[in-house]
Amino acid sequence: MGDLTVSIHNLKLKNPVLTASGTFGYGLEYDDFMDVSLLGGIVVKGTTIHPRQGNDYPRMAETASGMLNSVGLQNKGAKYFATDIYPNLLKYDTNILVNVSGSTIEEYIACAEIINELDHIPGIELNISCPNVKEGGMAFGTSCASIEAVVSAVRKVYHKTMVVKLSPNVTDIGELARSAEASGADSLSLINTLMAMAIDAERRKPILSTITGGLSGPAVKPIALRQVWEVAKSVKVPIIGMGGIMNATDAIEFFLAGASAIQVGTANYLDPMITLKIIDGIDDYLNRHKFSSINDIIGGLQV
């Protein structure tokens, strides 16, 4: 067994496999299938200060090797999370991060302040890249000025590990990554979903109620790898890579490109135990290639 532990700022992860926000609920939904505590960490559902109903149905479209969603951050709000969900998560021996979102900087701050009080939540993932909400969301993640504004504002009130989740829908992700780092991000995660669209030709209507939505799944992996690679060249903080990871080989590719940890998203829908298989597969790879630690391959692409 190789050494799978990695550090993301102050977080010590027993292995580099986390679950992506919006694809793993609060972990609880997976109790029937697996021991959630075996994971390096889980990132819970997008959370906002006020409860959100999310978008109308339909919210999903299947695409070639992928899917679109336009859930739109449906959640019962940060206070409900703190009082009704958080206590149930204490049973898990893993790092639980809350994915924090908002329509205004004030909302981000208010939400982060509530999460900051929760002892067993060692970090947040600041979602400045959700393509499925009308105001805020992705808009924050597409310019240096707005990234600086929201990241440094939250940095003032949030004192544990702050991961900033970048949007892939941009011209120069390296530049935006540097903004986020300079504004106080302890780590960067990417990619969120790509803005996309599906049409029902027979009915001549968009499939999603919101017309456009976010693309995820193996279709996006090549784009995600490229962006992780670019961000890894641009910043010093550790990177959490994701986008289309379906198996251990995919995960290894992200480590080689420069990610210190990875998140698994859409793949959880197809196989709820996939994260455990990926952990095993990473270990296998290290053994086969005679690496004693996962850290030996992070950024190890030979170019």
Ligand X SMILES: Cc1cc2nc3c(=O)[nH]c(=O)nc-3n(C[C@H](O)[C@H](O)[C@H](O)COP(=O)(O)O)c2cc1C
Task: State the residues that interact with a second copy by CB under 8 A.
Answer: 61, 63-66, 68, 142-143, 169-172, 194-199, 201, 203-206, 211-212, 215, 217-223, 225-226, 229, 244, 249, 252-253, 256-257, 285, 297, 300-303
Q: Which does 62 bind (CB under 5 to 8 A by kind): another protein, a second copy, ligand X, none?
A: another protein
Residue given tokens 């993301």 in the structure block: 8
Residue given tokens 């336009």 in the structure block: 70
Q: Name which of residues 137 to 196 contact another protein (CB under 8 A).
A: none
Q: How far apart are CA 251 and CA 274, in angstroms?
A: 12
- In the chain, alpha helices (H): 78-80, 86-89, 105-116, 144-157, 173-182, 221-234, 248-257, 267-270, 274-288
Residue tagged active-site, from 4, 109, 128, 130? 130
The secondary structure of residue 298, as a DSSP letter, is: T
Q: For ligand X, which is the closer residue by CB, 2 or 46? A: 46
Closest approach, Cβ 195 to a second copy, in A, equals 5
Q: How far apart are CA 120 and CA 95, in angstroms?
A: 8
130 is known as an active-site residue: yes
Q: How far apart are CA 22 and CA 110, in angstroms?
A: 21
Give the amino acid at 66: G
Q: Which does 281 bind (CB under 5 to 8 A by kind): another protein, ligand X, a second copy, none?
A: none
Q: Which does 252 bind (CB under 5 to 8 A by kind): another protein, a second copy, ligand X, none?
A: a second copy
Q: Which does 285 bind (CB under 5 to 8 A by kind): a second copy, ligand X, another protein, none?
A: a second copy
* Interacting residues of 130 by C-beta distance below 8 A, sequence separation 6+: 46, 73, 101, 137, 138, 192, 214
Q: Which residues pair with 95 in a beta bridge?
A: 41
Q: Name which of residues 218 to 277 contact another protein (CB under 8 A).
A: 266, 268-273
Q: Which does 273 bind (CB under 5 to 8 A by kind): another protein, a second copy, ligand X, none?
A: another protein
Are 137 and 154 within 8 A, CB to CB?
A: no
Q: Name which of residues 74 to 103 contact another protein (CB under 8 A).
A: 74
Residues annotated as catalytic are 130
- Binding region for another protein (CB under 8 A): 22-25, 29-30, 32-33, 45, 53-54, 56-67, 69, 71, 74, 217, 266, 268-273
